[in-house]
Structures are given as C-alpha cells and as structure tokens.
Chain A
Amino acid sequence: MQNAIEFNQVCKRYPDFYLDHLDLTLPTGQVMGLVGVNGAGKSTVLRLIMGLIQADSGSVDVLGYRLPEQQVFAKENIGYAAEDMRLYGTENLRWHMHFIQSIFPSWDPIYAEHLLKKFDMNAEQKTKGYSHGQRVKASLILLLARRPRLVILDEPTTGLDPVSRYEVLGELAEILRNEERSVIFSSHSTQDVEQLSDSITFLHKGKTLAYQDKETYIEGWRRVLCSGTFNQPLDLPGVAELKSNGSLHEIKIRNFDDAMIARLTEQGLQVSQVERMTLEQIFIASVREIARK
C-alpha cells in the first residue's frame, strides 16, 4: 500500500523557527495526530503537506505527488480545513456548497445534506453570522462531502463548545472507517488525538520527539509512585520526570518494563503504585523534560 504522506529529511527555516530534518510517513488509511505546543511546527508541517510553502531541503510527497510542484494534482484529492479559515461572509453555506461542487467532481450532494442535518446547520444563513462552532462545522461539510482521499485538519476542535466538539469528533470517527481515507490533524487537545488517531507525531521546536503508533507509544509510559530514601542518585533509563515530596516520589518513565520495579527496589525504594499515563500526562512530562534540559 502506498503511503499517503512521505516526508524525507525535510528542513524549513524561518527567522525564529527551524523544522529540523523531519521524516514522516502516513500509510494510506491511517489517522495521524500531530501534537505539540504553540510554535512546535504543526502548522508548518500541514502547510508543507498542502504545498503552500516549499521545504528548504528534503522531499515532500503527498498521494504520490511531489510537492509543491504537483500540488494541483494532490489537492484534487485533499480536504483541508484550518481553525482560522474563513468563508465568504456575504454568501451563505449553500452558495459555498455549489461553489465546491463545481470544482470537485467527487462532491456527494446526499452526504452533504446528511452532514447539514447532523450538524444542525442552516445552509441558507449568511456565513458572517456563524459562531466559531458553526464555522468549523461548515468547513467540515465543505471538505468531507467532496470525499477526499486525504483529510488535513489544523486544530479542528479548538474553541468548540462540548456539544459541538462531540458532534465534530463523532463525524470524524465516522469518516475514519473508510480504509482508503487517510487523515492527519493537529490539535492542542491530546484527548482528541488519543480518541481518534492510530499514530502520533510529537513535535517540539521543529524536532520530532516521538513518532509511533499510539498504542505502543502510550503503553511505553508509566507513572510510578514510591516511597523511601534513595541510597544513591536515581540511575534508571527513561526517567522523564522525578518529583519528590519528602520520602514520597513520583517518577514518570518512558520505555517502561517490569524489570524497572526491581531496579527501583534495589535503589532503596518501595513501589506503591504503577499507573498507565494519559497522552496529556505524557505530553506535559515530555515538554517539561526538554525545558529542564
């Protein structure tokens, strides 16, 4: 199966930012979540995938097309929506739907009407009167009804109220059932990434911190609570964070395996609890670890 997206040693330099030799692969039919703090490089990656900017070095291939040279071919099969993307305020959603339909032969009018009902949207209302949630839903209708092979979403759920977020995530989960459709999305919400994605790319200051399938990645982390006094400085591989409060210690560990419990015991500690971590906890621990370094 061909990859939907292939980045090979991609670099992009701005005055205050450097995307550093990024390798990225999204197999067809997979969902990738891009996670990172503001300025991590998520939007830069998505813009490279859309061919809107050119890499300084390295190569970007999307749906088998070299970008930015062949962006027109790639974009015929891409649906892109960004949190800050706006529609023409003086026109209504119906007009936008006709406009998109005139450009994309793959437009599915029945699915578009289904989405209108599902999102409870009034297609005759001018878009300048839309709330943020309605704008996001309108963008999703316009991109999903064209049945793209690759969906690119830049912060799709940012700023949505809980009900809108639930509806949007539900529809995204629905479209992910199609095995030929690939999705890449960026989000501050690690919950969304955890809920939807098959793989995770963790970006920080233009560098890849992690790039793995979600289950393996999350499974590799543990939060260990223990007590006692260290009889020597803690010597354990993969410790991302150590917080001590008197004789109580909280250790966050990556690439965890059961042998680590024995090693902690050897170092004079009594392990009281070993917990799985959420993606959010992992995200925070990783970023703080880098900040400390």
Chain B
Amino acid sequence: MNPIIETTVNKNAKGDMAVDASAIANRPALNMPVIKQLVYKDWYVNRRLLATYVGTGILSLCIISLGEWQFFMGSIMLISMMVGMGNHQLSVTMISERKEQTLAFVMSLPVSPADYAMAKFLSNMVLFFVPWSLLVLAATAVILITPLPDGLFAFTLLICVLIAVNHCICWSVTMATETEGTFLMVMIGLNCLLNPALYFLARSPDIGRHNLDANVVWTTTATQVLVCEILAIVLLLVGTLYFRSRKKVFF
C-alpha cells in the first residue's frame, strides 16, 4: 500500500507541466503519509536498541524483590535503562542523523521542515513512551505483586515521570539547537539533578515517608508533583513543536 497523496502536477492540453493551484490550496498543511513513514523508519532502525533497553529493564525488575542489595541494584538498573533509552534514541534519531549525513537523505523526500519536526516529535515520543509505559506497568506490577512494600508505588511513579520530563527537556533542546555538544551538556546536567530529586522525594513527608507502608498511599502532594511533571512535559513539547514548525527551511 502506498499512502502518499497523488502528485498535483498534470499535463495540460499543450503538454506543459502545469501546477494545479487548487490541489495546493486543498492539501493539508502536513504531509501525514510521509510523516508516518518517517516515524515507522525511526522505529524500525531503533528496534534492536529498544528491545535491549526494555529487556534489561525487565531483568532489573526480576531481581528487584529478591533482597536488599538486589533492590538497590535493580532500581539503579531500571533508572539507568529508562534514562539511557531516552538519550540513546535521541542520539541515534537526531544527532547521528546529522553527523552521519543521513539527514540529506530524509530532506530529499517530500517533506517540509514542519513535517520533519512533526515526524521527529512523534517518533521520539513513540520510541520513548511505548517502552517507558511497559517498564512503568511492569514496575507497578512488581511492587504490587511481590513482597516489596506497596507504599513504593507513588515514589516510583513520580520518579519515572520525572525521567520522562528529562527526556522531553533533552528532546526540546536537541530540536532547538541540533548540536551534539549542547545535547550532551543538558543530558549530563539533568542526570546530575536526578539524584537531588530522588533525595527530596524520598525525604518528603507526604511521598517518601510512605515508601515502606504495606498499602498504596496517594497524597495531595503526590498529585501536585505529578500534575507539575505532566504540565512540564506538555508545555515543553507543544512549545518546541510550535517554534520548530515555523521554520520555512532546514538550514
């Protein structure tokens, strides 16, 4: 099946190649069939990478409930996999595309800078949030099913969403600057800030204090933190996409 819209150029009576102005006017602003193909392309090119991160993430969850040192090792592994998965796929789909000059190949396709921005938005979000959701669901299941205290749920969910916020910050910065150096600096900075965030959430009387409770405890503070995190994600994505799609040209 070929989803692309038929060409708008027709031959007129004289045999000249005439441009069909009405077709131009009626065409949607975004070339969605090609955007879909670009998203699929990124998914396909990164499939092994994602499988490796998800597989290792699941492995970390398998050991997390086996004992104390296994809990610390498993939780660090899980966080590392989530952070690494986001950063690695940003590096492959955006930074390497520029460095290894495959971007020229993409730009030769019938896409505008707005189409490209939309394709990168969709692919990076799908590539991150699909495996991320899998890991969050698996982590929730492990907390609720195994002897681990159910009270860990709120803390774990907020940390996982915070990692998603960091991923969105990295994506926004990479889309805006398109430079490897800035991407690396922001990535390192955010990773450094993850530890204080873990500390403050763990020390919070309304969140971390319930970590060892036998039942799930969801407080107003947890809701406020979650809403702030989701709001940050939405603002980052919408803002970056809006500014990026206003570009008329690639360079």
Contacts and interface: CB of A to CB of B under 8 A. Distances in A.
Contact of A47 (B3, B27, B251): B251
A86 B107 contact: no
B100 interface: yes
B104 interface: yes
Contacts of B251: 47, 52-53
A52 B2 CA distance: 25
Nearest to A90: B45
Interface in B85-120: 100-102, 104-105, 107-112, 115
Interface string A44-68: 0001001111100000000111001
Contacts, number: 107
A51 B249 contact: yes
A143 B105 CA distance: 10
A88 B250 contact: no
A103 B251 CA distance: 23
B101 A149 contact: no
A96 B15 CA distance: 33
Contact of B249 (A65, A68, A73, A87): A68
B7 interface: yes
Contacts of A91: 44-45
A2 B100 CA distance: 37
B166 to A, nearest CB: 27
Given A64-B19, A69-B248, A105-B6, A76 B110 contact: yes
Interface centre among A1, A77, A88 (most CB of B within 10 A): A88
B141 interface: no
Interface in B71-90: none
A104 B4 contact: yes
Contacts of B8: 73
Q: What secondary structure prevails in chain B residues at the interface with A?
A: loop
A63 B112 contact: no
Contacts of B203: none
A95 B41 CA distance: 10
A71 interface: yes
Nearest to A73: B8
Nearest to A128: B100
Interface string B34-70: 1001000100110000000000000000000000000
Interface residues of B, number: 37
B9 A64 contact: yes
B31 interface: yes
A102 B16 contact: no
Contacts of A52: 107, 249-251
B101 A88 contact: no
Contacts of B249: 51-54, 68
A149 B18 CA distance: 13
Contacts of A75: 108-111
A133 B188 CA distance: 40
A122 interface: no
A80 B4 contact: no
Given A53-B249, A88-B41, A106-B7, 17 more contacts: A2-B17, A52-B249, A53-B251, A63-B19, A64-B19, A71-B112, A73-B9, A75-B108, A80-B108, A85-B108, A86-B100, A103-B34, A103-B109, A103-B110, A104-B4, A105-B4, A143-B108
28 contacts: A1-B15, A28-B17, A63-B17, A63-B19, A64-B9, A64-B18, A65-B19, A69-B248, A71-B112, A72-B112, A75-B109, A81-B108, A84-B104, A85-B108, A86-B101, A86-B102, A88-B41, A88-B45, A88-B102, A88-B105, A95-B44, A99-B37, A102-B2, A103-B33, A105-B4, A105-B6, A149-B9, A180-B17
The 5 lowest CB-CB distance pairs between A and B, nearest first, are A80-B108, A64-B19, A85-B104, A75-B110, A86-B101
